[in-house]
Each structure stands twice: as structure tokens, then as C-alpha cells.
Amino acid sequence: MSGTTLCPHCMTRFRVAEEQLEAHEGMVRCGHCLQAFDARADFIADEPDPQLDLPIPDASVDEVMATEPIEHAEPVAPQTLAEQIKLLTNDEPVTITLPRRWPWALANAALLVVLLLQGTYFFRVDLAAQLPGLKPLLVRACIALNCEVSLPRDSEQIGIESSSLEAHPDAARLITLHALLRNHAPYAQAYPELELSLNDMDDRPLARRILRPQDYLPASRPAETGLAARRELEIALNLDVADLNPAGYRLFLFYPQ
């Protein structure tokens, strides 16, 4: 099978035989510009096309484009990329500039480190609770950053298991508040604050007081240690109600914002 092919460098069309297409994987050299190219890329077979039956002008008709037909041109073997680049540039040295990706990689790595440090700073309390071995390092870092690694304050993980209010047996003006706090979390938590409301017969508040940890904790239990994981605390606190004569009470716990 024979046909024609087109040199992509000087746009000269040549006749080419099947043997030349099969030899050297279709690589030939143009007899006009001496450039190597793949003859199979623009190959057109000699079978007549019913839609286009126009004669192909011989390249020798145009004196400017005149060249020897491909039958007399010497087939060339496939070349390496470096040899083809050297051939196409008339033996002049070629410098291939590759995109520099390392600055972007360095910038992405720096951003990742910054995000990691910010996340560690904002979630330092949770990290210290979930990873106790990391807490000393976080504490040392907070000393330099003038911050604090406090105990967790999850009000959903701590609750009032029971409570009662009774008159003091030795003083008419005193009442005793009994409460049992329990920490359900698998880590220690800060002691909450308690809100006690004394109500009348119609459940209207007569007085209200906020009880902080130092108000209800015994002197032997420092507030800084917090309530240990899955532990309870019994509270017995005497309060002076004077002549209020409360008929009921409400007790809530919360963590201040």
C-alpha cells in the first residue's frame, strides 16, 4: 500500500511506500528540510475517496518547495528525545526549564504547620484531657505564650445525682444543703458552680446565691485538682437563711463563660 505523507516542518508532501512505513516505526527524513518525522501521522492512502477526487500536485512543480521524493530519501531509525531536540534546533544547545514546585511545597508545609499550631492552641484543654502524656508539654508551651491549660468544663458530663435541704438541728437560722456531684467523663473536670434558689410556698424565689467551688469544697480538697474521672463528691453546706422561712429550693450547676 502506497500513499502520501506531509512533512510537519516544511509542509512538503511526499509519496511514501508501505515498506517505508513499516521500517523504523515510520520514522523518515524530509529530503527538503532534512528534518526527521513520523510518516504515519499525516499518511493518506492512494485509494480514491468518493467525496474528494482531486489530484495531488507533485512537490517538484513548485520550485521553492521542490525536493526529492521520499523513495530516494534515507529512512532513519527512531531517535531519543534529546537527539530529536538537538536535530530540530540545528545542533544548538537546548535548555529545558522545568516548573519549580519546591517553593509551593515549602509554602504548603509552612501553612500546615501554622494550622497545626493554631489547632493545638485552641484545643489545648481537650488535648490535655484526652492525651494526659501531652499535658506537660502543653503547660510549658503555655508558660511561654502566657496562656493556661485548664481542666475541661463539660456540663453534660457532670451532674447532680441527688440533693436535699434540711433544717439544722442546732440553729433555727441555719439550713444544711446536701448534694452529690458525679463526674461521668473519663477524665478529670473542673468543679462547677452551683446556683441555689430558695422559694416560698408558691415556688417564687425568696433568695438566690451562687456557690463557687471554694464555697462548698472542704479545706482539704483544692479546687485546682478538679473532680477525678468517674468520681463523686458529697457536699454538706450550712447556710444562714435568717427569717426567710423557705418552703422549697432549686439547685443547678453550670460553668461560667
Here the CATH number for the domain that contains residue 218 is 2.60.40
Lookup: cell for 57: 500536485
Q: How much is the pTM? A: 0.50
On whether residue 94 sits in a domain, the answer given is no
Where would I find the H helices in the chain? Answer: 18-22, 81-88, 102-122, 124-130, 135-145, 213-216
- 251: β partners: 196
Within this chain, do residues 109 and 62 fall inside the same structural domain, yes or no? no
SS3 192: coil
Mean pLDDT of the chain: 80
Rounded to the nearest angstrom, the gap between the alpha carbon of residue 120 and the centroid of all alpha carbons in its chain is 14
Within this chain, do residues 243 and 159 fall inside the same structural domain, yes or no? yes
Lookup: cell for 51: 467525496
What DSSP string runs through 25-54? GGEEE-TTT--EEETTTT-EESSPBTTB--
Lookup: cell for 119: 489547632
SS3 20: helix
> Nearest-5° angle of CA 188, CA 189, CA 195?
150
Lookup: cell for 23: 521500517
Residue 42, pLDDT score:
78
On whether residue 96 sits in a domain, the answer given is no
For range 208-225, the mean pLDDT: 93
Lookup: cell for 20: 517505508
Residue 67 has pLDDT above 80, yes or no: no
On whether residue 113 sits in a domain, the answer given is yes
pLDDT, one tens digit per residue, over 82-119 is 565 555 555 555 565 657 788 888 888 889 888 888 88
For range 38-59, the mean pLDDT: 63
Give the integer Cα–Cα distance in Å for 11 and 30: 10
On whether residue 228 sits in a domain, the answer given is yes
For range 56-76, the mean pLDDT: 43
Within this chain, do residues 181 and 240 fall inside the same structural domain, yes or no? yes
Within this chain, do residues 63 and 121 fall inside the same structural domain, yes or no? no
For range 22-48, the mean pLDDT: 79
Number of domains in the chain: 3
Range of the domain at 219: 155-254
Buried b (16+ CB within 10 A) or exposed e, 102-139: eeeeeeeeeeeeeeeeeeeeeebbebbbeeeeebeebe
